[in-house]
Amino acid sequence: MPRVGFGELLVIGFVLLVVLSASRMAALGNAVGKFVYSFRKAARGEGFVDAHARKLPPSRPVDAETSETEAEPLHPPSHRR
């Protein structure tokens, strides 16, 4: 597989500059930079937010007289808007 040297990269960059114009190249570079930054941040696990996290209700003791089948089932709280 042929290697791409500095001269080839310079020619490719010049062609992209002419075709896409300088302002678009700056925006493209900015977008690529943000993507690389966010990808590295996500790969490290920083800023991870669990969107489906739920808080469990506090556990209540079960009496020895009551079996688990007779106990009331725990229902998640209703979310009203």
Q: What is the pTM of this model?
A: 0.38
Q: Which residue has the higher pLDDT, 8 or 45?
A: 8
Chain centroid to CA 28:
21
Q: What is the pLDDT of residue 78?
A: 65
Q: Where along the chain do its domains lie? A: 21-45
Question: pLDDT grade, residue 72 (50/70/90)?
Answer: low
Distance CA 29, CA 27 (A): 5
Q: Which residue has the higher pLDDT, 41 or 69?
A: 41
Distance CA 2, CA 49 (A): 43
The pLDDT of residue 62 is above 90: no
Q: Which residue has the higher pLDDT, 79 or 31?
A: 31
